[in-house]
Structures are given as structure tokens and as C-alpha cells.
A and B are shown apart, each in its own frame.
Chain A
Amino acid sequence: METQIIEHDDSVELILKGHLDTKTAKETEGIFHEMGEKYDNVTLDMGGVSYISSAGIRALRDLYMTLYNKKGTLSMVNVGDVVMNVLEMTGLKGLLKLN
């Protein structure tokens, strides 16, 4: 899992690449936590993500909750079919700003 961080004034864009699974989720979770504390608006570029396990979903859920609690927004761009399917099944799809 590779994460590229592009920080703007009041928002941050994270470009993710690889599998978001049990092995990589812990590290990604750390980055999500840090960015979620720092910014109100977070955009995830999911173009490079080919798989999300339940551990990955948990990381996304936690980031969403962090932002939700301070009235921020979690956005996603370039969401592929596999990831979209997961978002749909978990109900996250309706809660995110998708482009």
C-alpha cells in the first residue's frame, strides 16, 4: 500500500495505491487518523486501490466517523467497481461525497 499525501489549506487529498487489507490497514489507519484530526475535509483518490478487506473498511469507517463528528466531509474520487461494490454493501456509498 502506497499513500501519497497532498495537503491544501483546509483540506487534504490522499492518493492510495495497492491492496487495503489486513496487512496494510494498520499503517493506513494511522495516516487516516492523523489526517482526520488535522483536516475537516479529506478526499481519497481510490484509482489505485484494487481490493478492500474488512480491516480496510474499518479504516474508512473510522475516518468517516472522525470527520462526521466535526461536521467535515469525506470525499472519494476514481472509485473502481470492486471498491464501489464494497461501499455499496456496507452502506458507506450513501454517506460519502462521490465523484
Chain B
Amino acid sequence: MAKKVDREKHKKKPHGLERMIFLGIFIFATLLTYICLLAGISQYLVHTFDMLKNEASHELALVLANVDLQDMEELFAETKAIYEAVADDYDIEDAYPGGADKEKVREYSNLYSEVMDDGYSKLKIELYDCREATEMEDIAFTFFDEKRNRLVCVVDGDIAANCYTPGQWREGNIPTAKRLKEIVESEFALDIERGSFGGWSVTDYIPIYDRGGELIGYASVFWDITDVMHRIRRFIFIALPIIILLVTLFAGVISRGLRKRLVSPVLAISGAAREYAAIEADELETADSVFDKIDIEGPVELNELLAAMKSMEESVANDLRQIRTITTVRERVETELAVARNIQMSLLPDITDEISAAKEFDLFGLMTPAHEVGGDFYDFFMADDGHLVFLVADVSDKGAGAAMFMAVSRSMIRMRALTGGSPSEVFSDVDKLLSEFSGQKMFVTAWMGMLDLETGRLAVCNAGHEYPALYRKTGGKDTDGFFIRKQEHGSPLAFLPGLPFPECEITLNKGDRLFLFTDGVTEAHNAYDELFGTDRLLEVLNDNKDCDVRSQALALKDAVDEFASDTDQFDDITIFGLEYNGG
């Protein structure tokens, strides 16, 4: 199914990679071929020119060997002398064979009649023979008139009607001094001209020296290379289409090969990846492998990619299985913790009819664990008709372990207290029992009070717990508000064996209030790591002392929550408040 989808896409869309490779190869191969072609042509021209120059030098040497050098030097000297004398009196129309005014041309030519002696004729014949024997179009002895930019003829090897006579010149297309130097010194440089007749010509200039070694002029050798150029053009016209055809075929074959070896496998893998992505999340674990189905004949790297995709698929399935297992376990633990939380909350006492019916006091307690369950608790119950027992305790840990220890501690304390005895006796006995039990080496701080409802006398035992906050409604210096009531205390329960639990007493009068709490209140901290602290605690209690104890306790809890609103709850929080209404 996946492959079918691929192929349809394949047809509709331009295949990027294949096209890129085709164009790349095509452009590169074409450029390379053109460069080779240009190199070949220029090499061919260089070779041709080299041969022409060699031939010219060779032929000139032969000519010079056969003529009387003295005659030649005189011929140059005389021609130059006459030319210098008359050069400014005539212009090009009078001084070249094709001039319109034949009379003028003849008149100018006749100025040089005296130089055309035997020596001149002999030289002309030699040059003519040379010209006839070779491929040269012409060979002539000349000198440059640099001032007037002219090439002046001394002897022309041509004998046709339009040949140059001594002193005649041509203007324009005369090589510059620099170019002339290049032509003379180079093995292949020639002066190339596009002739007015549509052909191509090249000219070589070979210096001629007199016997004293002085430069007296140049042998100008002239070839028509139109045929050569035509041959090159024909070659290019034939070669180009063939090259383009071959390059196209080459690029096509390579890119087609790459499609099979590279593009198709890539598309197959991406198609499988798409198919994989379409699988619903909850089917990923059980679905058949999509990457196992594809079989590619690609390069090693693509096989590596496919292998990586297969292992990814496998590890995703494994991870999902693991996540499912973890989720199942977590859900079970959550459920169990929820049950544990319910049980723990039910261990905290409700305000029974008996308690609420009692006129002597009002009370309220709350406990909020940091986790699902916690190690804090409070408790209150009637020990007998005239005595209310209340306590707050804090197991030295958090979480499920602490919660179990809390349940045990709570039951031991309540059961022991119900059998009678002072808070000190209760704690001493529970301390022994818990020490035997304390497998995890936990301990409990606890504060217990036993209130004589008639007299307001409160027997207190503090096992390493936070001191309570007390409020005196009437009588003496303490009526300003809540204060921390410090008294002698013992160590926590199950902390160290054999330590005493001293008992103290507080006498409550009508309207006095006592608040117990755990360190979850005072050590609650905000994002700046500031602690809620005792001062804030007293302030909140004082601000709310006109409410009933319930509202006061809830106000304190709200203040703590607000203070620590930008941090996670750090510890279990317990608050317990009691107001004595008198006997």
C-alpha cells in the first residue's frame, strides 16, 4: 500500500534529487567538454602558427642566402631616402596599388624608378619563387614608418597587377611596437586579421639586419587561413550537437541509476515513516513493523538509515510498553494512596455530638499533608466525663511510611490515654512501645494536654514538639495577644531510650485560647526562601482573635497557603485551636 502511494507521488511531483543530479552532471560535463574543445582548438592554432612561422624563417634564410646583401642594403637605404623626402606630399590614395587615380599612382611609383635595378629584380624573383614554392599568400621586404603608422614596401614577392612597388604603403592595422615585439619573439604569435572579403589572414614580421647587425626592415609574410578557420568552424558545428547528445545521455543514465539506487530507497523509507506517523498512538505497540516491510538496494548509508528507523520503531514500541507498565503501576499506587489518604483522614477525629455538646470549650483541628498522605496528626477525645485530651504530633518524615507510623502512634496514644494516667505517663509508655516498633528509626514529636473541664487546669506534656501559642483574655500582663508559651519539655517519642517526659501545667481561664501547630506552619517558605516564622503566625492569630477558633485556624491556614503560594508545599501542615469557656 505504501509503495503504491509512493509511486503515484513519484509521477506527479518533480523528483528533486534526480533532477538536481541530472542538471549537475549535465552542466558540469558540458562545461568540461567546452573547455577541452577550446583547449584543443587553441592548441591546434598554436601548432599551425608555429609551423607557419618556422617555414617563414626558413624560407627567408634561403632567400637571403641567394641575394647580394650589399644590393639589398642599398635597396633599403635608397627606398627609405626617397620615401622620407616625399612621404608627406602624398596620401594613401596615391601610394597603394588600388588607388583610384591611376595617374597619381603611376606618378608616385615613378619617383622610385631608379631603385628598381638588377639587384631589385633579382630579389623580387627570389621572393616570387619563395612565394610560389610555399603556402604563403605573399612575402615582401618592408619597413615601418612608425611616425605615420605605415608599413612601407621595398620589394613585393607578388607580380600581379595589384602588387606593391617600392615606396608604396599601407595604413591601419599596423601592429603596435609592443605587439610587433611579441610577434618577433614568440614561437607562434602572428598578427591575425579579419579580411574585408570575409576571410581570415595572418601576418608574420621577421626582422632583417644589415651586415653590421643594424635592423633595416622586416620581411612581412602573409598567409590566408580562411580554410583553417572554416575547418575549425565545421568541426565545432559537428562536434557540438554530438557532445550535447552524449552529455545528455550520460547525465540521464547516471541520474536514472541514482534514482534506482538512491531516490527510490529514500522515498520508500520516507513513505514508511509517513505510514508509521499515521498509526494511532495506542496501536503503535501492537502494529506490524512498517520498516520491516521495505527492502532496498541502496548504498550502505541508506541501509544504515533503514536499520536506524527499524531500531527506532522497536525502541518506541518498547518505551510505550514500559510507559504502559509504569502508568498501570502508577494508577494502582495512586488508587492505593487515595484509599490510604481516606483512611488517614478518617483517623483524624470528627467533632462528635458529645464534644460539640460540651459547653466548656470550642475546638477545631485541620491537617494537610504535603503528599497524598502525611506524618502529622491531631487528636482529641474525652478521657472521662470531666477531662478532654487533645494533642498534635509530627512523625519525623513525610509520605506513606510516616503515615503508617502516624496511624500506629495515634492508636497507641489514644488507647493508652483511655486507660487513664497523666500525659507524662502516657508518653513514657508510648515511647517504650514505639521504640520497639520503630523499624525505620522514625520518631514522633508530640504535644499533649489533658484539660480538667471544671477547673481549667491543663496538664501538659511536650515530647520535643513546637511550643504552643497562648492567648489570655483576662488577667495580667499577657492579655496583649497571643504569645509562644515555652515550658519544660522532653525528647521526641521513640527518639532515645530511657529519657524522662516532664509534665507541666497551664491554667486556662474563661476565654483563653491555645493554638497548637507543627513545623509545616512555621517553616513554610516562599520563593525567596523566607520562612513563615513565629512572628507571622502570632500576627495572623491576633488579627483574627475575635472570630471563633475554627475561623481563626482557617485564617492561619489561608495565610500560610498565600505566603507559600509560589512553592510546592514542603511539609505536612497541622493546626489545632481550643478556647476554654470556663467550668
Contact = CB atoms under 8 A, between A and B. Distances in A.
Contacts of B396: 54-55, 57-58
A58 B499 contact: no
8 contacts: A58-B442, A58-B443, A89-B464, A89-B466, A90-B491, A91-B464, A91-B489, A92-B496
Contact of B397 (A55, A91, A92, A95): A55
The winner among B394, B398, B492 for most chain A CB atoms within 10 A is B492
Nearest to A88: B489
Given A90-B464, A91-B496, A58 B441 contact: yes
A91 B441 contact: no
A6 to B, nearest CB: 27
A61 B495 contact: yes
Contact of B496 (A22, A54, A55, A65): A65
A92 B491 CA distance: 8
Nearest to B440: A58
Nearest to B395: A54
Contact of A95 (B398, B464, B496): B496
Interface of A: 22, 54-55, 57-58, 61-62, 64-65, 89-92, 95
Given A54-B397, A95-B496, A62 B490 contact: no
A81 B464 CA distance: 17
A69 to B, nearest CB: 11
Contacts of B496: 61, 64-65, 91-92, 95
Given A58-B441, A65-B496, A89 B489 contact: yes
B443 A91 contact: no
Contact of A90 (B394, B442, B495): B495
A44 B430 CA distance: 31
Interface centre among A22, A54, A61 (most CB of B within 10 A): A54
Interface in B431-485: 441-443, 445, 464-466
Contacts of A91: 464, 489-492, 495-496, 499
A90 B398 CA distance: 18
Contacts of B490: 91
User: Which of the listed residues A61, A62, A65, A90 has the most CB atoms from chain B within 10 Å of its own CB?
Assistant: A90
Given A89-B464, A91-B464, 5 more contacts: A54-B394, A54-B396, A54-B397, A58-B442, A89-B489
Interface string B393-406: 01011100000000
Interface in B185-239: none
